[in-house]
Chains A and B, each alone.
Chain A
Amino acid sequence: MSFSPISISETDYISKGIEKNFRLDGRENLMYRDFTVVTGVVSQTYGSARCRLGHLGKGSDVLVGIKAEIANWTPGDPETEAGDIGKIVCNVEISPIAAQFFVGRSSEEFALELSHLLTRAISGPQSGLDFKQLCIIPKQAYWVLYVDALVLGYDGNLIDPLLYATRAAFSDLLLPKVIVESVLDEDTKVEHQAFEILDDPSAVQTLNGWENIPLAATFYIVGKRYVIDCSVDEEAISSARVTVTANQNGEICSVQKGNFKTGLSPSLLGEILTISKKLLPSLVLSQNAKLEQLNLAKSDSSAPETSFTFLNFF
């Protein structure tokens, strides 16, 4: 990913502003822009959400859809070796719609980085999800959740809306119910287990533990200070990037540094960790409130059903 160049005086103006804790649009260094989130936007998925982070209905825009498939257990796969858990596979794609510089190979590399970052945050026990619920028959069949994120808009800071949308999509996730029963094989007279998926649309289950999914705060280091939720210009002049994900209890789930211009001192990293511990649980709370509001609006049958979710909500 390469940014268009920016002049020395602008760089100076922006970084001096950050030093004074006063950014271009009047935000303080540790202030987010507005998060907007909608769930249930893609009907072909088992759970989906779209999140936009920015001013006045513009900004970074991420769409996440979760598809579930059933896989046969095979020995030798280190992830499902235990045989009683399912699997989550994350993939991030950056659409060239998002910004002009997301064309070709450079965007692929960035998308790959984001995919691994997302995997690190949610595909494992640190996400707090109930992986055992994803097992259908031990050592035989399990659910694979494909978490596919599509970046539709870019205005700085992609990682935070990515996690935000992912958590919202998991809150929206409804898996079909599965019945497991013993079947007697007529030839060999051996009893084995088989499963059947209920095609009743109301027989669905939510995935336990989605509340524990972490959210991300990405700190961009500009000069000696750091900002969260930076704009494109701030991202262009930043020298390093640290993403911290933490869940509602303030437990750190992953830390990752990106961008190779400079390093950062261990004490600064410590400071960032402390701040994210304060910042992220409150972000989780505000997201929970937003999701609850969405659920209320959905259960309110008097509201007309439209596909408003894909329009600008401003």
Chain B
Amino acid sequence: MSELDNGNALSFSTIVTPSTLITQDAAFMKGHGTFVEKEKIYSSVSGTVDRINKLISVKSLKQRFVGEIGDTIVGRVTKLSQKRWMVDINSRQDAVLLLSSVNLPGGVQRRKSESDELQMRKFFKEGDLVFAEVQSLFGDGALSLHTRSVEYGKLRNGVMIKVNPLLVVRSRSHLHSLPCQVDVVLGVNGYIFIGKKVEKDKLEDISELLEMYSDTNDEIDELTRSNIARVYNSILILDRMLCRINDTTINCAFELGLPYQTSQLTNSEIADEIAVQVRIKIAST
């Protein structure tokens, strides 16, 4: 075990490896990515030291998603069981979506009956993509989700792409309508959904309609399809070049890619070029 300092906590953004002594000061509390031995705090993962007041944690650069209450995530239904759906959210455990925490057609106030339980597959079935928010945490660390908002629910008219979850930063909004008529749903768990833009006014009354759980796609014209593919490739580039993924960077990469054909974007030289440009642009703002 190497000791990096004497008594004082390591400064923010120091890179540590497992078993590095972070502090001997008993006043600090251990957070994620650390362990305590003989009242000293050591790191248990390699990454950067993060200190919030007296709480010390180590944030690793490559980590599976750890959910917190309020996170907006994109997940895929893997299993149906009693009154609940199990959802793959790129975390160590499947999240739980209870039948009682989804909006059912017929209004928010509707009571869930036994017949709803019998026709759960009508709402979500295996393979479906869900946009949801973390409602609470179970004792074993599993997440409980809810979709009780108009913008949450089943995702359609598009595709999902998986990226490194640390590139998606938690922010106020995770549903972005890009200027190119494409909606991007950035799940903080690293699942990103790209789809056709949903009209805002339609969003309001959609909860009244059965369409909420529909599986059929709208008509998607060729321009939208090609824009979705461009956004898809832009996100692929950002992920590979480890750029932060938010609406600004996606837009930036999208615009830089416009001179090229969609299928050319995955060419390594072009991708390299775009990523460098994106970095410069972000740094300048």
Contact = CB atoms under 8 A, between A and B. Distances in A.
A34 B229 contact: no
Contact of A12 (B126, B216, B261): B216
B267 interface: yes
A22 B226 contact: yes
Contacts of B220: 13, 16
A14 B267 contact: no
Interface stretch (B25-33, B45-53, B153-161): B153-161
B129 interface: yes
A8 B267 CA distance: 30
Interface stretch (A51-59, A117-125, A183-191, A216-224): A51-59
Interface string B231-250: 01100110010000000000
A8 B215 contact: yes
A15 to B, nearest CB: 10
B146 interface: no
Contacts of A56: 236-237, 240, 266, 268, 271
A200 interface: no
Contacts of B266: 25-26, 33-34, 55-56
B217 A57 contact: no
Contacts of A57: 240, 268
A98 B263 CA distance: 25
A4 B76 CA distance: 10
Given A56-B266, A57-B240, A22 B222 contact: yes
A244 B19 CA distance: 54
Given A4-B76, A26-B261, A10 B159 contact: yes
A298 interface: no
Of A5, A10, A27, most buried by chain B (CB within 10 Å of CB) is A10
Given A12-B216, A17-B225, A24 B159 contact: yes
Contacts of A10: 127, 129, 156, 158-160
A40 to B, nearest CB: 22
Interface of B: 76, 78, 88, 125-129, 155-160, 215-217, 220, 222, 225-226, 229-230, 232-233, 236-237, 240, 261-263, 265-268, 271
The binding surface of chain B is classed by DSSP as mixed
B242 to A, nearest CB: 12
Contacts of B216: 8-9, 12
Nearest to B222: A20
Contact of B159 (A14, A20, A34, A58): A14
Nearest to B266: A55
B199 to A, nearest CB: 18
Contacts, number: 95
The binding surface of chain A is classed by DSSP as loop
Given A13-B159, A55-B266, 15 more contacts: A4-B78, A6-B127, A9-B157, A9-B217, A13-B158, A13-B217, A16-B220, A23-B229, A25-B236, A26-B226, A26-B263, A26-B265, A26-B266, A33-B266, A34-B267
Contact of B229 (A7, A8, A24): A24
A31 interface: yes
Of A16, A17, A33, most buried by chain B (CB within 10 Å of CB) is A17
A21 to B, nearest CB: 10
Contacts of A108: none
B28 to A, nearest CB: 38
Nearest to A6: B127
Nearest to B215: A8
B263 A8 contact: no
13 contacts: A5-B127, A6-B127, A7-B128, A7-B129, A8-B216, A16-B220, A22-B222, A26-B230, A26-B263, A33-B266, A55-B266, A56-B271, A57-B240
Contacts of A14: 159
Contacts of A12: 215-217
A55 B265 CA distance: 10
B225 to A, nearest CB: 6
Contacts of A26: 226, 229-230, 232-233, 261-263, 265-266
Contacts of B229: 22-26
A58 B164 CA distance: 14
A314 interface: yes
B126 to A, nearest CB: 4
Nearest to B272: A314
A28 interface: yes
B225 A22 contact: yes
Contacts of B271: 56
Given A9-B216, A13-B217, A16-B217, A314 B232 contact: no
B87 to A, nearest CB: 12
A8 B240 CA distance: 28
